[in-house]
């Protein structure tokens, strides 16, 4: 399987003023493209070449660090782009909204937990809302391009439905070292309808 860079579902400048066009362009065209190029090189001629991306991540401990890093980078960024929107639905609905209230007490509490996870992640990484394999939801953070789907993750395993990139390349041109400001701005472009769609698809898989 050869991976290719997915197009963004909006223009690079569409998320301004929250996410600037220059950052979005570099982030997508250079960083994400590099993960794809390096993933294709890493899997060429190996058993990993026959696996789908999600299948690869679920057993990523079998493969080289290059596969782990670059498959994670491709998966994580593909999820990230698709939960952002210039005209987002600002609150979740349906069963996801119900479970957020049940687990976290409120949407504001969930946002605070994700921000806390993103700020506490030392160095590069991601903060996640994910569905555990038992169907419940949780928040966690991972280093580098890891994610909860990977079998190298010994705790908090599951399927991501929302991810926030806290690598400096995601925000430094606009927010410099103010990661907290970037995490606050994220909610202005997060499309909860996309997250809810991810949630419903995951729950259908787990049944």
* Binding-site residue positions: 27, 77, 165, 169
Q: Residue 207, class by beta-carbon neighbours within 10 Å (0-12 exposed, 13-18 middle, 19+ buried)? A: exposed
Calpha distance 186→56 (Å, rounded): 29
Q: Which residues are annotated as a binding site for Mn(2+)?
A: 27, 77, 165, 169
Q: Which residues pair with 36 in a beta bridge?
A: none
Calpha distance 148→90 (Å, rounded): 25
Considering only the C-alpha atoms of the chain, give the largest distance between any 2 of them, rounded to a whole number of Å.
49
Cβ(117)–Cβ(128) below 8 Å:
yes
How is residue 3 annotated by DSSP?
Answer: -
């Amino acid at each position: 399987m050869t991976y290719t860079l997915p197009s963004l579902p909006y223009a690079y400048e569409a998320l301004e003023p929250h996410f600037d066009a220059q950052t979005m362009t570099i982030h997508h065209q250079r960083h994400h493209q590099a993960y794809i190029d390096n993933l294709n090189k890493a899997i060429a001629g190996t058993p990993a070449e026959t696996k789908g991306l999600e299948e690869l991540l679920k057993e990523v401990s079998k493969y080289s660090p290059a596969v782990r890093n670059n498959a994670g980078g491709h998966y994580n960024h593909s999820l990230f782009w698709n939960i952002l929107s210039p005209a987002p639905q600002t609150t979740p609905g349906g069963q996801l909204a119900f479970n957020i209230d049940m687990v976290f007490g409120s949407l504001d509490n969930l946002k605070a937990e994700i921000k806390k996870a993103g700020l506490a992640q030392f160095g590069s990484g991601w903060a996640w809302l994910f569905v555990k394999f038992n169907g419940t939801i949780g928040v966690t953070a991972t280093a580098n391009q890891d994610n909860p789907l990977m079998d190298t993750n010994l705790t908090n395993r599951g399927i991501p439905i929302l991810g926030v990139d806290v690598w400096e390349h995601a925000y430094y041109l606009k927010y410099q070292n103010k990661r907290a400001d970037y995490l606050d701005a994220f909610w202005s472009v997060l499309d909860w309808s996309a997250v809810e769609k991810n949630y419903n698809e995951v729950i259908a898989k787990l049944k």
